[in-house]
């Protein structure tokens, strides 16, 4: 791809972050080649290549940037380009591929046919990369992206190491992006870390969680630490509790085989919601650099009060959806999904309560919930503040005062809402009202897709929004005892909530025992 085709990088744009003064502001990555293992898969077509195309469209990619697909399908370069052209047209947030831009982008797309466990395929991969370095002037810089089933990770990493591909022979840099799930419990996560770090240095490893690429999630640090009015009340003295919700209106679709081995705790809580929790609760980092930010996230995880296997049934709630309807359309139950066992005990809904035992948050419960086949697709962080004293209004008709809530909305409508009480004109009544901020309205531009941000960060060598080894293991150390407690318990009477409802009745009772209730979304 030529500089003339892409033009000069803009000085500002939706991918810029005012905190990122050292690593990325106004920068374009060095030329590099991205090798996508699992290039024929759904992730490549739906997310990765559309994200790369949009980065090219916004003039964020360097001259010579190249993509090399690695898969078993009997394709050649031209066939792979045709597949990706259709994928971009179908999945790009910017609409169908623009002919001139696509023609320039496609010049750097190549395909390498081999199996993940085929040693000869890695020998020829090395030769192919050397040829691309020469033809495209990529300087030996490489990103390996593992867009494969998790069981292939260890084999691919070992083969890359055995063939010397963990280091560039041309003096460039080499990085590897590993998709979630990173292990299925603490022991497997530690084992995978040992396998990966026997081949790559930690600084080369980018464990990706696409939730951290969402604009609102990134804005948490700006919201908390670039505004003087919120941080003074972001503590146990003023906060009653915090609710973190990731709700999905879809079922498991075609992921039944994977999901029935995983469940909601592994699929959503261990990564997405744990990340939201750490960013919400962390202390200010000493600097805005990758390790300083991740140090503070790890401290949060290590401060969480452990839940023993014996406590798992009282500190959590599990659910599994049965037949129902969503938006007026009938939905079958989870056990009727393809590749799901007819007697499955896999949870499609989970709620749990965590306590962070540090000076800032002692005694403040953090409630996490996630589920499938719920009424709406919505993700948010809701900070509920302590209620104001009611003495002033105790003997008046306006003595019912609802607490203030700060809701950080992650999807689908990205923004922030603050709820406070106001007197109704002409009536002796207090009613909650909201002040709302929305990204689209305020900035007039569409937010970039999460993968756009994260792929660019990796190419720039910025690991801030990626997960470090100790963070992964700390998260699994917290949740593995819960899985053990569930495995030892008696089977639950699944299904226990209808598709299209907000989860099992036990989840409402769980909150009611604490004198609280889930937010109505």
pLDDT in tens, 115-151: 999 999 999 999 999 999 999 999 999 999 999 999 9
**Percentage of residues in the chain with pLDDT exceeding 90?**
78
Stretch (H or E) spanning 52: helix 49-57
CA dihedral 499, 505, 507, 508 (to 10 degrees): 120
For the chain, how far is it from start to end, CA to CA, in angstroms?
Answer: 46
Range in 218-227, 330-339, 389-398, 419-428 with the lowest mean pLDDT: 389-398
Euclidean distance between CA atoms 479 and 306, whole angstroms: 9
Euclidean distance between CA atoms 2 and 56, whole angstroms: 11
User: In Å, how far are 263, 311, 485, 490 from 308, measured between CA atoms?
Assistant: 19, 5, 7, 17
| Average pLDDT along the chain | 91
Q: Which two tokens stand for residue 137?
A: 């002037």
Q: How many CB atoms lie within 10 A of CB 439?
A: 19
pLDDT tens-digit map of 447-475:
788 999 999 999 999 999 999 999 999 99
| Contact between 105 and 118 (Cβ < 8 Å) | no
State the Cα angle at 357 between 354 and 358, rounded to 5°: 135
Strands 324-326 and 329-331: antiparallel
Q: Which residues contact 439 (CB under 8 A, 6 or more apart)?
A: 215, 216, 414, 415, 447
List 163, 210, 272, 329, catalytic entry: 272
Confidence of residue 36 (pLDDT cuts 50, 70, 90): very high
- Please list the alpha-helical segments (H only) found in 382-468: 439-443, 450-460
Euclidean distance between CA atoms 512 and 501, whole angstroms: 18
Is 329 a known active-site residue? Answer: no
- What domains can be seen in the chain, in order of their start residue? 3-179 (3.40.50.720), 212-445+465-512 (3.30.360.10)
Overall average pLDDT of the 325-348 stretch: 95
Q: How many CB atoms lie within 10 A of CB 322?
A: 20
Confidence of residue 444 (pLDDT cuts 50, 70, 90): low
pLDDT tens-digit map of 23-33:
444 578 999 99
Overall average pLDDT of the 269-297 stretch: 95
Euclidean distance between CA atoms 93 and 112, whole angstroms: 28
Q: Which residues pair with 322 in a beta bridge?
A: 498
Q: Which two tokens stand for residue 190?
A: 């530690």
What is residue 137's three-state secondary structure? coil
What is residue 318's three-state secondary structure? strand
- Please list the alpha-helical segments (H only) found in 163-289: 186-197, 215-225, 256-262, 264, 274-281
pTM: 0.90
Euclidean distance between CA atoms 428 and 76, whole angstroms: 74
Which residues of 147-218 form beta strands (DSSP E)? Answer: 174-178, 205-207
* 165-202 core/surface letters (b: 16 or more CB in 10 A; e: else): bbbbeeebbbbbbbbbbbbbbbeebbebbebbeebbee
Euclidean distance between CA atoms 142 and 29, whole angstroms: 12
pLDDT at 397: 59
Overall average pLDDT of the 259-265 stretch: 95
Overall average pLDDT of the 69-97 stretch: 95
User: In Å, how far are 250, 323, 483 from 340, measured between CA atoms?
Assistant: 16, 15, 19
Confidence of residue 20 (pLDDT cuts 50, 70, 90): very low
Euclidean distance between CA atoms 265 and 350, whole angstroms: 7
User: In Å, how far are 16, 17, 379, 414, 497 from 280, measured between CA atoms?
Assistant: 22, 18, 14, 16, 30
Greater pLDDT, 14 or 35 = 35
């Amino acid at each position: 791809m030529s500089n003339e085709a892409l033009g000069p990088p803009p000085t500002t744009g939706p991918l810029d972050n005012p905190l990122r003064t050292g690593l990325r502001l106004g920068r374009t990555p060095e030329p590099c080649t991205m090798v996508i293992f699992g290039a024929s898969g759904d992730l490549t077509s739906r997310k990765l290549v559309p994200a790369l195309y949009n980065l090219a469209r916004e003039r964020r990619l360097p001259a010579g940037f190249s993509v090399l697909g690695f898969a078993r399908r009997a394709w050649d370069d031209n066939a792979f380009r045709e597949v990706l052209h259709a994928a971009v047209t179908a999945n790009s947030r910017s609409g169908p591929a623009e002919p001139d831009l696509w023609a320039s982008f496609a010049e750097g797309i190549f395909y390498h046919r081999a199996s993940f466990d085929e040693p000869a395929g890695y020998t020829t991969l090395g030769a192919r990369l050397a040829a691309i370095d020469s033809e495209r002037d990529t300087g030996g810089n490489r990103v390996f992206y593992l867009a494969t089933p998790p069981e292939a990770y260890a084999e691919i990493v070992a083969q890359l190491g055995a063939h010397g591909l963990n280091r560039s022979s041309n003096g460039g840099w080499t990085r590897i992006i590993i998709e979630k799930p990173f292990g299925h419990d603490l022991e497997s996560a530690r084992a995978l870390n040992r396998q990966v770090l026997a081949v790559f240095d930690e600084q080369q490893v980018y464990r990706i969680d696409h939730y951290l690429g969402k604009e609102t999630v990134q804005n948490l640090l700006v919201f908390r630490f670039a505004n003087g009015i919120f941080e003074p009340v972001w503590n146990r003295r003023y906060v009653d509790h915090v609710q973190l919700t990731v709700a999905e209106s879809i079922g498991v679709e075609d992921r039944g085989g994977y999901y029935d081995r995983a469940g909601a705790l592994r699929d959503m809580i261990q990564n997405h919601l744990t990340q939201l929790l750490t960013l919400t609760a962390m202390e200010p980092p000493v600097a805005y650099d990758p390790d300083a930010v991740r140090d503070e996230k790890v401290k949060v995880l290590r401060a969480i009060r452990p839940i023993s296997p014996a406590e798992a049934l009282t500190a959590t709630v599990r659910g599994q959806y049965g037949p129902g309807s969503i938006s007026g359309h009938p939905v079958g139950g989870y056990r009727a999904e393809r590749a799901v066992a007819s007697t499955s005990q896999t949870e499609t809904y989970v709620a749990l309560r965590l306590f962070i035992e540090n000076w800032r948050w002692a005694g403040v419960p953090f409630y996490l919930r996630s589920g499938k086949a719920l009424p709406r697709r919505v993700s948010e962080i809701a900070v509920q503040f302590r209620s104001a004293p009611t003495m002033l209004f105790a003997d008046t008709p306006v003595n019912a005062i609802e607490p203030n809530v700060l809701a950080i909305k992650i999807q689908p409508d990205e923004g922030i809402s603050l709820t406070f009480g106001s007197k109704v004109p002409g009536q002796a009544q207090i009613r909650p009202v909201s002040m709302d901020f929305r990204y689209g309205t305020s900035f007039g531009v569409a937010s970039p897709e999460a993968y756009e941000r994260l792929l660019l960060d990796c190419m720039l060598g910025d690991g801030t929004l990626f997960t470090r080894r100790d963070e992964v293991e700390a998260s699994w150390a917290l949740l593995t005892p819960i899985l053990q407690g569930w495995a030892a318990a008696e089977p639950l009477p699944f299904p226990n909530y209808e598709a299209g409802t907000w989860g099992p009745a036990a989840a409402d009772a769980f909150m009611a025992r604490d004198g609280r209730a889930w937010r109505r979304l």
